[in-house]
Amino acid sequence: LVAAMEGVEETYIMIKPDGVQRGLVGEIISRFEKKGFLLKGLKLFQCPKELAEEHYKDLKDKSFYPKLIGYITSGPVVCMAWEGVGVVASARKLIGATNPLQAEPGTIRGDLAVQTGRNVVHGSDSPENGHREIALWFKESELCQWVPAQAPWLM
């Protein structure tokens, strides 16, 4: 039902190691749940270096790339797949600007972070990357195709 609706997208959201270390997992998941998006996959995961490099391959020429790979592999992350109408752009709004000092209050980074290099959460930047990243971080068997029994907020 939901998957057949027009404009339904999926996005890969990841709580980075600083978010896990700081005990912000519940707070961050809660923001996406309250908004009304649908959780399709969720796991705590220690990311191997090769996977971090594949995920961030578009940034490999950036000066901060080695630090970024070290950061993402420094401890467990929480991997999530979320579905909904317009979820890719909406999740980026909920997350806020890359530099937390420029992120609006009310956003995850605006409320919970200070440094670009410790900005607590990742969100896919396009529907294509949403598909790519979910396929990269999850096995098919780890994703649940389900519809909540009562979901008028999704209609």
List residues forming the annotated binding site.
16, 64, 92, 98, 109, 119
Q: What is the DSSP string of 67-83?
A: HHHHHHTSS-EEEEEEE
Nearer to ligand RTP (CB atom), residue 56 or residue 154: 56
Query: Residues 37, 94: contact at Cβ < 8 Å?
Result: no
* 55 binds ligand RTP, rule: CB under 6 A: no
**Catalytic residue flag (residue 122):** yes
Q: Which of 19, 41, 123, 130 binds ligand RTP (CB under 6 A)?
A: 123
Q: Which of 8, 45, 116, 143 binds ligand RTP (CB under 6 A)?
A: 116
Query: Residues 108, 29: contact at Cβ < 8 Å?
Result: no
Nearer to ligand RTP (CB atom), residue 64 or residue 153: 64
Site string for ligand RTP, 67-96 (x = CB under 6 A): -x----------------------------
What one-character DSSP code corresponds to residue 36?
A: T
Give the residue among 154, 8, 37, 139 at the shortest CA–CA distance from 79. Answer: 139
* Residue 150 Cβ vs ligand RTP, minimum distance, rounded to whole Å: 32
Residues 6+ apart with CB under 8 A from 106: none
Residues of the binding site for ATP = 16, 64, 92, 98, 109, 119
User: Coil, strand or helix: which one is 153?
Assistant: helix
Residues marked as catalytic: 122
